[in-house]
Structures are given as C-alpha cells and as structure tokens.
Structure 1
Amino acid sequence: MAAETLEFKAELKQLLHLITHSLYSDREIFLRELISNASDAINKVRFDALANADKLEGNTDWKIKLTPNAEAKTLTISDNGIGMTREEVIANLGTVAQSGTKAFLEAAKQAGKSGEAPGLIGQFGVGFYSAFMVADKVTVVTRGPGSPADGTRWESDGQGAYTLEAAEKPARGTDVILHLKDDAKDFLDQWRLRSLVRKFSDFLEHPVTMDVEKEVGEGEEKKKEVTEETLNSRKAIWLRSKSEVKPEEYDEFYKSLTHDSDGPADIIHYAAEGKTEFKVLCFVPARKPWGFDYEEPVAGLKLYVQRVLIMDRCEQLLPTYLRFVKGVVDSADLPLNVSRELLQQNPLLDVIQKSVVKNVLESLGGMKNIEFDKYLGFYKAFGTVLKEGLTRDWSNREKIADLLLFESANTEAGKFTTLAEYVGKMPEGQKDIAYLIGESAEQLRHSPYLEAFRAKGQDVLLLTDPIDEFAIPQLGEYKGKKLVAADRGEAAGGGDVPDGDKERFKALLGALKEKLPDVADVRLTNRLTESAACLVADANGVSAHMERLMERMGRDSGTAKRVLELNPNHATVEAVRTLHEKDAADVRLDLYARLLYEQAVVAEGSKVSDPVAFAKRVNDLIARDAKAGA
C-alpha cells in the first residue's frame, strides 16, 4: 500500500507549540515520557493476556530498548508491548482531537488565566508529542497483537500533516524513531542516556536496555564486543516490605538519594492500604547537609507513579517545616497534569501528606524516647526548622511541642529538658510555663528576670533560636498551661508589692518617670531579689530581643518604650529614695536615674544608646565614691 498523507486537525500546531515552549521545564523529559509510554504498553498487553493468552505470541521477554544512531542522527525507543493497528495509529497519533486536544487546549487556556497547571497527561494523551521538543521528525513503526505481519509506519514533522503506510514489523510492539534536531545531538551520547534513565526510570519494573560496545580479552586476543546492558536498577526497595530490606540496602538508597556520606538517623517505610494505596520510604538525616541553611526553604519528596519519576520534589507531599526529610512516595492513583511535573489539585495529595506527617512525627517521637542521644544530634541540626511547624501546622502543634528540647535555668549547661518534663516538675502553686528568650543560654542564666522564679523554686526555659520569638507565642499553651515570657509585665514575679512600699516610693517613682522619657512607666516590683532594676514589656508590647532581631533583618521599627521596674528592697534603690526625700532638687538624682535605666538596658541584653556617655557616668560615680572614701 502506498504512503497516504493525512491532515492533522487545526489544533495540532497550537498543541505542539504549547508542549514545546510552555509545559516542560526541561526538554530531557521527553525520554521519560516515551519510556513511560513503552512501559504502559507492556503492562497493557500483559493485562490483556490474562483473558487472551494468544496476544503474547510467545513474545514475553519484556524490555524497553534505546538505540542511538550517531550516523543517522536518530534515537529509537522500542518496546514489545501492546502495539497498535493502523486504525489505532490514526486514532491515537493522527486524529489528535479524539485524544482530547480541544479540551486540552481549553484547559491550558483557562489554566493560563488562573496561574494553575494545564490538564492531565492521562486524560488528554499528549505525552507522546513531547518528542517534538528534540526531534524535527518522528517516525513510529508499530504492530498490534494478532495483526498481519506487516505493521504500520506513521511519520510527521509536526507541522500539520502525517503520512501512513504499511511497514515490515515481524514482532508485536512499537518503535519510536526520533530524528534529532541539531541542538539535541547530546541525546545520542550513551552516558547521557544512561544518566537520564537512572534519573527518571531507574525503578521501572521492566528493564530499559541499550547495546554497548566493550573491549574483551587481553593482548592480541583483545576484541570489541557488543553486549546488551540494562540501564535501570529495577530495585524499588520501597515496594518491598520493611522486613525484606537489609540495613545496608537502606543506607545505599539513602546515600544515592541525598549524596550524604553517612547513613540516616531514622527510616520511615510503610505501605498505606485501604481506599487509598501508596508506598512511602522516607529518611531523617543524622546531620545537616552542607548549604542547608542557605537554600530556599522548600520541602518535597520524590513522587513516582508505577516506578516512574514524576516529580523530583513534590511540595504537596511534605510541609516546609519537615523539609529535612528525604524520600519517595509511589502511588498509582494520582492524576497527573500534561507535563508530569505538576499535579492537579487533588484531595489524595492531602491524604498522603497527612499520612507522611503523622508517621514522621511519630518516628521522631520514638527516636526521642528510645534513642535520645541520636535524637539530640538530629535536634541540634534541625530543631529550629521543626519549630516552624508551631506557626504553620495547627493540627499538629502539640505533637511538635512534644518533640522540642530546651535548656532551662535548672538544667546543667548543655543539658536539655522537654515541656512534658517541665510540667511534671512544676511546684505546687505554679500555674504557667515561664520562658526567657535571648542571645545565649549562658547570658540568660545570669538574667535578673530569673531571680523571683529561682526564689520560688520555679524553672524557666531558656530559648535562643531566632524563631522562638515567633513560634513560642503561637504555641500559646501546653497541656493547659499558659506559656508566659519572664520579661513580660504579666509574668509571675512573686505577687503584688506591699502598699507601704508603694506609698514610700510614690514620689520617687513620679520623679524618675519625668527624668526618663525613654520608659513608658516606672514602678516597683518584687520579681527582683538581687538586682536593683529591670525593664519589662507589657503583654502586647515588643520585647527587646524582638527589636534586636528586627534590626538585624533590616526592619527597624524603632525602640518601643518599656516599663522600668525597681526593687524596693535593694540598697541602691533605697539610697536613691532617701536622697530624693531629703532634696528632690539634688543634681545627682539625674545621674542615678539614668544609671538605673542604663544598667537595666544592659541586663536585658541590649546596647545603651550612648555607650561613651554611659561609661563617663560610671567613671564619675567611681571617682566620687573613691574620693569620699579617701
């Protein structure tokens, strides 16, 4: 039969332009699409053979073969799958509108308006046309099961027409021959093909092969020999049960996945069964990868569908606060968009994510309870990241809170406690969980804000991660106990000040407030037992530590006025009161007022606005005291 030229529908040019220029971030994806199609074709004939064994024709050596031909500038992808009859070729490759082109283009048009991904590759059947990203002509030679010995040849340059003719094809299956463009010759390189197969199709059930020429023998007997090499490992260990996988296999897979030289801290491997079925294999790293803190904070797991890599990092499967987790999810139930790079919004993604998050948090909890030293190493690397979940994952806040570790005023330096342990050790009468945020635990241990808590036998959590200012208030409470900042006005400081002290210091407090425009108020406190003064923020005010963080981030919002609290039982404060009572106009009161404020600024970890003037005031005081005692 002579070759017959047929016209494509008018939409084809739009379709090819869209696929070539819009849908794929990297045109190397074409190989994944064609290998995936070949794998589907093999699975189809295997399924059909369950009802009709004759369709196998004795051809059951299942494989997908790549044949690069540098001389002809072609790359052939062959399979012994279901193949196609002439009518099926026209239906599947020729009459594109029957594959849903109009619907596809409309979906793509609407998606462009909404910013979402276009339609589904499974729905519209246009993955084959990704071949035109790298080829200026595509030839397909195919024969279906039970067809005449002659097959069908389909050929097109994608410009509006295609030709059909009979072709010699003794065996069932399909050959897709790509006549590569000049700028796509790198896809003839065997090393390039091998790396792409390992990247996208390494865990495909069926072997992907290629003829490789190697030298065999030695000396004069050395000769070149062509052997068929399997390019994919076909070792999808996540499809095996956990009991069947050796520890060294997990380590090898983890290292190939992450390029980490060490093994993982923990392995999460399970199969979800029921209405939704998927396989999960995730790893918790033991240490922070190089560059982790400087990368864009994006989470995601590798997404496979029937062992074919669809997305290298599917963000919908993992929240960003678990971005240190690496691994794969394999599901056959997910609808994919036309590029196989983005997924259509689907409730199944939420189901999978919830399952993964639940299992990761349970795994971390088990490690904390059973292998604390290992967990401590993990937490020092990723604890800050984990805390992000307090602000983003409302449903799991308490589970995340149970995983947090803290230094505290009552723990040894370098030792840690948990919220559960803190609550369990709270003395009778303590209602709230107290915490203090600052630059370092060592600095916080000497803070005046701890004095009243120590006096009452109460512990205070010492927080030093920048995120603590945002995350801990989001947590709000734990096990019914409110979390309260020790440097806030409402923090438990030991009860109200006696009325007698209030009356004795009333005049001084008024005078100091006039002399110190930097503060919102001056009042007495019994939160201090050793120090003379401290600064506190009101319940809704900005803390000094938050101000310092914002300044580092280039978001200087100005200095909020805080409250200066004085210890009425401190000798210095009493001496100032006595001086004011004796002579309210004494010039030394200005000096003492400023020094009380500035020492409180230093104690909270901030810098005084004029350190030179501060140093001069201290030196003048030393000189005066030394002279008086001489």
Structure 2
Amino acid sequence: MTAAAHETHEFRTEVQKLLHIITHSLYTNREIFLRELVSNASDALDKLRFFQSRGDAVANPDLPLDITITVDKDARILRIADTGVGMTRQELIDNLGTIARSGSERFMAEHGMGQGLNGGAKAGAAAGDADGEAASSTSAAPTDAASIIGRFGVGFYSVFMVADTVKVTSRSCQPGATAHVWESDGSGSFSVAEVDGASDAAAPARGTIIEAHIKEDASEFLERHRLEAIVRTHSNFLPFPIMVEGERVNTTPALWREPKFTVTAQQYEDFYKYLTFDSGAPLETIHVSVDAPVQFTALMFVPPHGQELFGMGRDRWGLDLYVRRVLIQRENKDLLPEYLSFVKGVVDTEDLPLNISRETLQENVVIRKIGQTVTKQVLGHLEKLAASDADKYAEFWRGHGKVFKLGHTDWANREKFAGLLRCNTSHHDDAKGLSSLDDYIGRAREGQKDIWYISAPNREAARLNPHLEIFRKKGLEVLFLYEPIDEFVMDALGNYKDFALKAVEHADAATLDAFPTVEERKEAEPLAESDAPAFDALLARMKDLLGDKVTEVRVSHRLSDSPACLVSPDGSVTSSMEKLLKVMQRDESIPKKVLEVNRDHPILRNLLRIHKADPADPMVESATLQLFEASLLLEGYLADPHALVGRLYGLLEQAGGWYAEVKKL
C-alpha cells in the first residue's frame, strides 16, 4: 500500500483586506501615521549618512540632511520630504508595493548589521566605553547606522488612515538617477511612472517627497500646531532637523545618547526643565549606558522636591520609554518600582519586542530586565550620594523619604534599601537630625544586638512615652518613627546586618537590665517587705475597679518616671501598629490591655497608704480610673475625655484644699 502524496501550497493573501486591516485596525491612534512617516524619513537619512561615511559617491552631496513638513490647506495636501537615500523605480515597487517588506531591515542585513538585542547595533555605548557611560550615537551612526528604526515594513501604510490618495516622488542618491512617482489610493493597487521632464523640477534633487491627500474627517492634520505637537510627542529626539512650515520643531537634543563627559551641567538642567516643567535644577542627575544583561541608555533626574500638589498626580510617574529615539510609551511603570517614582527621565533601548504597530509592548521579559538594572543604578547612585554628601542626601530624604519607604517590599534590593533609610533618633537634639541604621550601629552600646524603635506622632510625644524611660536610664538610643508606614518598614526588614529591629514595647526586662545605668537619679525607698502583700491587694482592688477594661494590673519593670502605662497582653504588635490596623478595619473598639504601674512612684505609694487604711476609700477608685484613662489618652484610645477632665477637676479641688491646710494658708 503506497502512502498518499503530499502537496505543498503557499498561503494566499487578500491584499485589499490586508490593507484595510493595516489602516483601520492595526493602530489605535491616527496621529501615529506621522510618527511612521517621519521615522521612515529618518531611516533614509541614516542610510545616506552611512554611504557617505564609506566614501560612496552620492548625488548632491552638499544637500542638508533634514526632514520638512508642509501643508497646502486649499488642496488638502500634507507633504513630508527628506533628503535621504531615496528610491529607484524598482525599490519603489519592492518597498512600497510589497506589504511587510522592510527596506530598512533588508538594508541592515545586506550591510551586515545585526539587530539582536546584544549582538547588533549599539545605541550609545561606543567602543572602549569601559565606564558604562553614555556614548554619542552621532559618532556611531555614520559607520553602523545604529539609529535605523524601521523593522516591520507596514508603517508607511498607516498614512491611509488619514489620506484618500498618496503620491510618493523619489530620486535615488545614486549619481545621475532619475525620479519616479508611486501613487495609490490604498485599495489594493498602485502605479509607478518616471517623472517627465516638465515635472522633474518639482521632484526632489535627492530623497523622497510624500504627498498625502487628507480626508475630510482628518482635517486636524492640516493644522500646523497639531503637526508640531505630534512631532514633539513622538519624534522629538530624532537626530535630524524636522522642519514644520519652515521652522525647526525638534530643538531638544537626545542627551542620553551623548557621551557623559561632553554634556554640561547647564544642558542637563535644560533637559530636566524640558522634561518636568520644573523651574529649578535637579537635585541629582543619573546618566548611564548599559550593555548587559540588556542594552539601553538612560538619563534620569532626582527632583529637589516631591512633584505632588495636594496629593494630586500620584499616578503620574514612570520613565518615558524610547526605541531608537522614537517614543513608545510615556510614564512606563515597569521600568522603576513605585518607591522610586520620584525619578524622572527616559530610557532608550535598541531592540524591544513591540507589537507590529509599535504602540504597545509585546512581552515584558526585556522590560523587566531593564527595570531591574535601572533600579540598581538608581540605588547605587543614592548610595554614593549618601556616602559623599550627607547634607545633600538629607535634602533628598526630606523631599522623597515618604515615597522611598515603600521600598520595604523590594526583597531583591533589601540591603541597599535598608542602608538608605534615615530616621530621627533619641541621639539628636531636635527633629531635624537624621541617622542611618549604620550610624545607629556605630553608636550602639557594647553587647547590644538590637536596634530599638518607637512610633509616635512627633518627637515630643516619643520622648514623653513611658516605654522610653528605661532606655533613657540605660543610655540606649531609640529610633523615632513618625509616619504610619514606618512600622511596616521595620517589620518587613526584621533585622539589619547582625542587629534585630525591635519595638521598645517588646523589650525584655532582663536584656535591658544587663546594661549599666548611665542616668543616675534619686531612687525611691524600696517597698518594705511587710507592704508587699498590701501592694498585691491594691493591684487586685484596681483590677476589680477596672473590670474587663484591662486583662491584668501588674507591677512594671520599665517605668521610672511615669506612674502607669498600657501594654499589649501578648506583645504581638505595638500599640501604634494595633491602632493603625483598627483604623484600616474600621474597628472603633478599645483594645483590652495590661495596666502596668510603677510601684516606686509617689502616686502609687500614696494610693497604697490610702488603700491600707480603707480599701473602700473613694480616692482609690478615682485615682485608679484616672491612671487608666490617662494611659488611654497617651495611647490615643480615649474617645471621650469628659469623665477624665471632670475627675481631674475634683482631684485638684481636694488637693488644693489639703495643700491649703498643710500650708496653713
């Protein structure tokens, strides 16, 4: 039995339908057609410059290399002309008559120019650029045509989104070449003819002129201001002058493509102002060129202050993504993590997997690699700044510290992130002082293995917090955390180098007792052994009076100045974290905590005397409730202070009477 014969067939194409798809479904924004035509013109100029660099003879070598855009409103014609390499009759047929045939791609292949991400033309890294700094594309382009943009061979047909008919008149750069005109209405056919003698004067001396007859519903593209805006948005950094109605539009150079040592501080400042609309200079400039693991150049700036105004514009962040100087996406949020969202700038890569319309990214693997590298570059730059100029880094921290703290979730850069954190601490004289975790470790007591922190709304509240008293007594430095996110940061880090990050509320008494006392003070007389049972009875009475408002009343080993404080019974979370979680859960209940009392405080000693004389004395109840509600007030849980204030007035009235009697006033 013989096997059935196999027949091989080629795919067929309905050209008219394919053109309809390209012009009506491929692009989401009609203004993209101008970007495509201008990019094609730039490619033609790059090719000509390549030939000139090899010493090839070209027609009219003195013609300036530029792109001109003009409008004839009466005739509804938009013209885009270039003085580039031009096309012969056959090239017009091949390049414009064959859909998906890229003349630029064929040019690169014929002249041995790879297009791979790591093996092809390089955007900004010139040979010998050992420091990884951005090198000039203008110096590289004449020999390797690195700036050639075209790849897919369909961009030209986007013009039919806005045009009824298109006429392309082109003259090859070959000496003595004749001009030819290609014409089509985009319905599936075209014509090519040699320009006759009478019309030759209107043909380009070298290069190409595209004449698009604009549709009625696309009249906006006959307006000069609209054309200028499109060029500035998508093609502003192409290396050749783009003239709209005789005036150059792309006046801002692509500084990221220039060698770092050739760019002045004023140029960086001007570009920063152009990019951000800020009125001042950037705080820091980061200019890099990277060859591995992916190839790209980047120019980034750290503004001197946050860009938000009353919380507006929080989503307006990200780096602008370019491919060979052509804008692909504004504010790409995959190039930097949110905690570095204050960074402004551009990234330009040689080869990125885009969809055929070049409007969106086809996949994110390359972008992720670029993003990881950019993140490391920014963090490395901040590390150098912190090491070389502490005052300038402090300025950075005051402007962007709140946003930077979001980096506590960046596990890949955990150590770098932690080293860049800054906090006010008990070591400083005021709230303006800042210390790093390394600074804290450098001042740590002998044998200390913990970095202690406390959360408070401000420095004064932190200093007066009862939990801080034993740390002051032992001379242990404490970080002051003023922002709600700070505890999440400390909890996420867990430790730094060989030190554990711990809240003062979770301090172990035995650990702290091991440190010698540095703040000597007059200690209270020790409680007599005979009074120990009486004090236990007082604690029991206080627990009865408070009922289920507290889980326990016990003697504190952390207080020295304050009479009482509240602590979490399980020690799992700090008071401030617990309060924050309750706000997030919209839980307004008051948590049940342990009331710790300072047995050596005069208030407790006097209360012991009163309780020993008469356990039912109303002063015991008033003082107990006052201590509890005062502690609640310090914790931020006292919703209604009226009872506390009324009781306070009563106690002051009694105290004033007793004081007058003692003084015999």
Paired amino acid for 2:494? G
CA deviation vs aligned residue, 1:290-336 (integer Å, no higher than 9, x gap): 52742224532122222222222222221111111112222212232
Paired amino acid for 1:176? I
Deviation at 1:79, TM superposition (A): 2.3
Structure 1 residues 78 and 210: alpha-carbon distance in aligned structure 2, compared to 1, 3 A threshold: same
Quick one: distance in 2 between partners of 1:302 and 1:380? 26
1:135 paired residue among 163, 172, 195:
163
CA deviation vs aligned residue, 1:545-567 (integer Å, no higher than 9, x gap): 34554677684464433332222
CA deviation vs aligned residue, 1:14-46 (integer Å, no higher than 9, x gap): 4433235xx34xx43332222112212333454
Matched, 1:62 2:65: yes
Structure 1 residues 248 and 50: alpha-carbon distance in aligned structure 2, compared to 1, 3 A threshold: closer
Quick one: distance in 1 between partners of 2:68 and 2:642? 79
1:483 paired residue among 494, 501, 507:
501
Q: TM-score, normalised on structure 2? A: 0.78
Deviation at 1:502, TM superposition (A): 8.5
Aligned partner of 1:115 in structure 2 is none
Aligned partner of 1:611 in structure 2 is 641
Matched, 1:10 2:17: yes
CA deviation vs aligned residue, 1:577-621 (integer Å, no higher than 9, x gap): 4544555444444333221111112223x1413211111121222
Matched, 1:448 2:477: no
Aligned partner of 1:289 in structure 2 is 307
Paired amino acid for 1:74? I
CA deviation vs aligned residue, 1:35-84 (integer Å, no higher than 9, x gap): 11221233345446778935767586422221111111221222234445
Structure 1 residues 342 and 512: alpha-carbon distance in aligned structure 2, compared to 1, 3 A threshold: farther
2:191 paired residue among 157, 164, 169:
164
CA deviation vs aligned residue, 1:120-164 (integer Å, no higher than 9, x gap): x966443334334443444444455669735242322x5x43432
Quick one: distance in 2 between partners of 1:533 and 1:503? 20
Matched, 1:373 2:401: no
Quick one: distance in 2 between partners of 1:493 and 1:573? 26
Q: TM-score, normalised on structure 1? A: 0.82
Paired amino acid for 2:75? A
Quick one: distance in 2 between partners of 1:503 and 1:151? 112
Counterparts in 2 of 1:382-461, with a 5 A limit? 382-391=400-409, 393-413=410-430, 414-461=432-479
Overall identity of the aligned pairs, in %: 40
Aligned partner of 1:33 in structure 2 is 36
Structure 1 residues 406 and 184: alpha-carbon distance in aligned structure 2, compared to 1, 3 A threshold: same
Paired amino acid for 1:463? L
Quick one: distance in 1 between partners of 2:582 and 2:96? 62
CA deviation vs aligned residue, 1:507-559 (integer Å, no higher than 9, x gap): 44444344242334333221111001112235664544345546776844644
Quick one: distance in 2 between partners of 1:339 and 1:560? 59
Deviates more, 1:415-424 or 1:355-364: 355-364
CA deviation vs aligned residue, 1:369-392 (integer Å, no higher than 9, x gap): 32222222221111111111122x
Partner SS, residue 19 of structure 1: coil
Quick one: distance in 1 between partners of 2:407 and 2:504? 23
Structure 1 residues 170 and 489: alpha-carbon distance in aligned structure 2, compared to 1, 3 A threshold: closer
Does the 8 A contact of 2:227 with 2:244 survive in 1? Answer: no
Counterparts in 2 of 1:562-581, with a 5 A limit? 562-580=593-611
Aligned partner of 1:263 in structure 2 is 281
Partner SS, residue 211 of structure 2: strand
Quick one: distance in 2 between partners of 1:44 and 1:592? 91
Aligned partner of 1:102 in structure 2 is none
Does the 8 A contact of 1:268 with 1:283 survive in 2? Answer: yes
Counterparts in 2 of 1:519-598, with a 5 A limit? 519-537=550-568, 541-546=572-577, 549=580, 555-556=586-587, 558-580=589-611, 583-598=614-629
Does the 8 A contact of 1:490 with 1:539 survive in 2? Answer: no
CA deviation vs aligned residue, 1:464-497 (integer Å, no higher than 9, x gap): 1232132221121112211111234658884599
1:254 paired residue among 268, 272, 278:
272
- Unpaired runs of 5+ residues, structure 2, are 1-12, 103-148, 196-202, 515-525
- Unpaired runs of 5+ residues, structure 1, are 1-5, 100-120, 213-228
After superposition, the CA RMSD in angstroms is 3.4
Deviation at 1:256, TM superposition (A): 1.2
Partner SS, residue 471 of structure 1: helix
Does the 8 A contact of 1:83 with 1:145 survive in 2? Answer: yes
Quick one: distance in 2 between partners of 1:171 and 1:200? 28
Does the 8 A contact of 1:301 with 1:317 survive in 2? Answer: yes
Counterparts in 2 of 1:214-293, with a 5 A limit? 229-233=247-251, 235-273=253-291, 276-289=294-307, 291=309, 293=311
Deviates more, 1:513-522 or 1:418-427: 513-522
Deviates more, 1:398-407 or 1:431-440: 398-407
Deviates more, 1:361-370 or 1:426-435: 361-370
Paired amino acid for 2:215? K
